[in-house]
A and B are shown apart, each in its own frame.
Chain A
Amino acid sequence: MPIVQLVLVDDVTSKRILICITSDGLANSAAQEAFDLALAGASFEQDISILFDGAGSRLLLPGQNAKFLGRKELQKALKAFPLYGISKLYITQKDERRFDLDINSLSQECSALNDEELSALYAGHDIVMRF
């Protein structure tokens, strides 16, 4: 089912853009293309935040070898985020429990949000895109 998102945008020069990644980066190219968009947005000085949601939170697990599955290694792109000014990375506390993630040993520093904080995250952005 297609997910349709309609959002109000106010600022004409810089938008607050939330990119939700729900794919783990191994099953398809969605995460890779989300990363491409994030880096492009940051290059155009947009305010980029990334929510690693559901299976997408596993992108942050260190020690992965995507090339083994014929996929581009996304860990390098993750490490490039700070160079592009992308520092607002999030997972949910639900996924933290569900996938037994240790927030302190993920490959990038991120915040784990509860349901209330997650709602505020969505509300605080002009544009939300899901991959």
Chain B
Amino acid sequence: MEIPVMVGAGLIVIGAGIGLGKIGGSAMDAIARQPEATGKIQTAMIIIAALLEGIAFAALFAV
């Protein structure tokens, strides 16, 4: 693997990590505010996380 490709893969992982962190953090905030809506928040969180993951994987395969 060449160095630019490695750097690109690293950047993708950093981006995906930031995105997942934001989703998880916001979900935690939301659950703390409204613990009774935990189930709905978790479902929405997983859907968004899965979509983000799909993009990250697509980019990794493009690399």
Indicate, yes or no, whether A interacts with B. Answer: no
Give residues in B with beta carbon < 8 Å to A: none
Give residues in A with beta carbon < 8 Å to B: none
